[in-house]
Structure formats: structure tokens, C-alpha cells
Amino acid sequence: MFKNKVIRWSTLAMLVAILAYFFIENFSSGNAEADKDDLIAANPQQYIDKITQERVSKDDQFRTTKDSPIQDKDNFHGLHYFDIDPSFRVKAFITPYEKKDIELKVPYTDGSTTTYEKMGYANFSLNGVAQKLLLLKNEAVISVLFKDATSGKETYGGGRYLDYPVSKIKGDSLVLDFNTAYNPYCVYAPTYACPVPPKENTLSVAIRAGEQGNH
């Protein structure tokens, strides 16, 4: 049974490889996040094109690498996504977690648990409605494990993830890009064990961005 470190680090390594390529190609000078924000404001289509290319690259990684969760690679025709919507890339303001119960044992789909640290809450708005998600930290990685109104319908019922290195926190803020929300590996292969989002990370709104269910 594959555990969280395999899932987390293989997935993060894959995402880092994809993003590193596009950083070199497209953001070789200046601050990447600032450049991307400027790009979205100036030309949303270029941002959409970049996310599209990142998805193409991820499909290629899933199709060709040994760490891929896809078992039948010959018949793999790509992941399923919502249309890219720049409005789902939001700046969240972080309020630190200040209670004593800072450790949280997160259950996994195989019945085991792993201890995470409650970092704080990401506060943001979508369509003018205030939202809040608990940020969890494990091994220098910030995990945003969430469900929303699409879960079990248009997306995997067990929820989706966003992962960021701790260094992505700038002051008291973190950019959450739901266009990059991804399914856990257990969606594609039952041999993987995946963390279950905490109950408080169930959003009432529909996050129609990122990966869809495994059709």
C-alpha cells in the first residue's frame, strides 16, 4: 500500500517539474507570481494558454513516467478538467492557528492516519462570498484538502487538493489557484492511500475549476 509520502512527493515533484519548465520558458526574469498576476490582468488568454500547456505536460507525465498512477497507459487519453477560469485564482489572507490543538490526525482512505500541523486559515472570497479553508502542513508542504458543491457529482467525492511549498506564503497571504486543483492518486489506482479533507474544509460553493472526476 502506497502511503502519503509517495503520493505527496511524487505528485509535488511532478508539479514542480512542470512549473519549473514554464518558469524557465516564460518567467525567466522578475517575480513569477507578480508577473502572472500582471499577465492575468493584461491578457487573460495568455494565462489560460499557460495553464493549458501545464495540463498537456501533466498528461504526458502521467502517460510516460513510472510514478504515474495510471495503470493502463496505452488507453490513457488525458485527464478531465473544467474550463480554465482566471477568477478561480484568488489571493487568500492567512490567519494563524492559535489554539493548542495544533496537531491533527488526518484519516486516509486505507483507514490509517498521518499527523499534520494546523498552520492557519486561508480567507478569501469567490463571487463576492467569503470562504475559509484550513491549511495543513506536513514536511514543509502546505496542503489544502477540500470538498465543494461539485464533490461526488462533477468531481471526485473524496475531495481534491492544492499543494504549495511553505515558501509560497508571502507575508500574510497565499495565492490559491483552483485551476490547478487535482485529484488524489487513489482516484486512478486503488493501491494508493489518500488523505481525507477535514470536515470544516467542505465549501458550500461549487469550485468548477481544476480536475474533474475520473470519467
The set of residues, in sequence order, having a beta carbon less than 8 Å from that of 4 and lying 6+ positions away, is 108, 114, 138, 193, 194, 195
Residue at grid coordinates 515533484: 13
pLDDT at residue 179, as a whole number = 97
Average pLDDT over residues 182-186: 95
The answer to whether the Cα torsion of 188, 161, 35, 30 is positive or negative is negative
Q: Are 79 and 54 in contact (CB under 8 A)?
A: no
Compute how many other C-beta atoms are within 10 angstroms of the C-beta atom of residue 177. 18
The pLDDT value recorded for residue 61 is: 95
DSSP code of residue 169: -
What is the model's pLDDT at position 195?
Answer: 96
**Which cell is 174 given?**
497565499
Q: How far apart are CA 159 and CA 145, in angstroms?
A: 7
CA-CA distance, 157 to 131, in Å (whole number)?
20
Does residue 205 carry a pLDDT above 60? yes
Domain range annotation of the chain: 4-201
Mean pLDDT of 101-105: 96
| Model confidence pLDDT, tens digit, residues 12-64 | 545 544 444 333 333 333 345 555 555 566 688 889 999 999 999 999 999 99
Mean per-residue pLDDT for 140-148?
96
Please give the mean pLDDT across all residues of the chain: 85
Of 107 and 10, more confident: 107
Residue 131 buriedness (CB in 10 A; 0-12 / 13-18 / 19+): buried
- The pTM is what? 0.82
- What phi and psi values does residue 130 have, to the nearest 5 degrees? -65, 135
Q: Quote the crossing angle between the two packed helices 44-64 and 32-42, to the nearest 10°.
A: 120
pLDDT at position 27: 37
* Amino acid at residue number 18: I
Q: Name residue 183's beta-bridge partners.
A: none
Using a 10 angstrom Cβ sphere, with 0-12 exposed, 13-18 middle and 19 or more buried, the burial of residue 100 is exposed
Q: How do residues 68-98 score in pLDDT, each as one tens digit?
A: 999 999 999 999 999 999 999 999 999 999 9
